[in-house]
Amino acid sequence: MLDRARISLAIAVLALAAVVGSVAVVGADSDGTSYLEPPRTITVNGDGAASAAPDIVDIQLGVETIDEDPKSAIDDNTSTMESVIEALTDLEVSEDDIQTRSFNMWVEQIYDADGPTGNFLYHVANQISVRVRDIDMTGDVLGAALGAGANNVRGISFGVEDTQALEEAARDAAVDNAVAKAEQLADRLGVEVGSPRHIAEISGGFPETARVERAVMLDSSGGSVPVSPGDFTIRVSLSITFDIELMDADDDADSEES
């Protein structure tokens, strides 16, 4: 009986604590009616960025061949792509950093003034992705690939292999930006910024890179191709809701005197 009484007492204490906690903030209308007062908050967005010199580059290279015979079109394409890959590995590009992206074949019907001639051209396109881990070799890699027969470049994208440090720096900058905005608004409105109540990352880790996206047909004697890597930038955006507190009367007086 004693243990059961103790348990009942403990439950009653917990229930009372829950009730007290649920009505911690109470206000009253002019007629004396009580109501729960919503928290005073301010919400701001913070933007941050961090940049670094790129240490990798991804290149989209292709070989396109055309022939009246489908087998010849495929054989010529295969032979040329093998030469391109050999030229890349001769420059110490790892085979693990060379990946086939697509292989397509389509038929073009030949027309003259009277309509279809009954002849066809067979197009074969083979696209590979090449990762270069020595930025200084980018121009040489492009020149060697073009000299070996690559005739299509669809993209050159510079980046940073390990982006974690940049993301953290950009996130820190976004927090600083949000705090500065909140403090500016609070100062203007005569309140003080309190603790953060809610934090959300709106967008994070999105890179800004020097990138070429247009498809071009190129011819080269195999010399080095000039490139400019620029900077690699990570941007982060946050939304932070802060509690706000009314200034003390002493603080107001000090503010007016200053």
What residues contact 86, with CB distance under 8 A and at least 6 apart? 148
Can you give the residue range of the structural domain that contains 156?
54-161+209-230
Cα dihedral across residues 251, 252, 253, 256: positive or negative: positive
Residue stretches of the chain with pLDDT short of 70: 1-35, 204-225, 249-258
Residues 222 and 147: beta-carbon distance below 8 Å: yes
Is 13 contained in some domain?
Answer: no
Is 102 contained in some domain?
Answer: yes
Q: Which residues pair with 243 in a beta bridge?
A: 41
Is 121 contained in some domain?
Answer: yes
Q: What is the pLDDT of residues 71-82, one digit of tens each?
A: 999 999 999 999
Is 93 contained in some domain?
Answer: yes
Is 43 contained in some domain?
Answer: no
Domains held by the chain: number: 1
Is 256 contained in some domain?
Answer: no
Helix (H) or strand (E) holding 62: strand 56-67
Is 257 contained in some domain?
Answer: no
CATH of residue 82? 3.30.70.2970
Question: Between helices 138-147 and 70-90, what is the axis angle to 10°?
Answer: 150
Is 199 contained in some domain?
Answer: no
Q: What is the pLDDT of residues 119-144, one digit of tens each?
A: 999 999 999 999 999 999 999 999 99
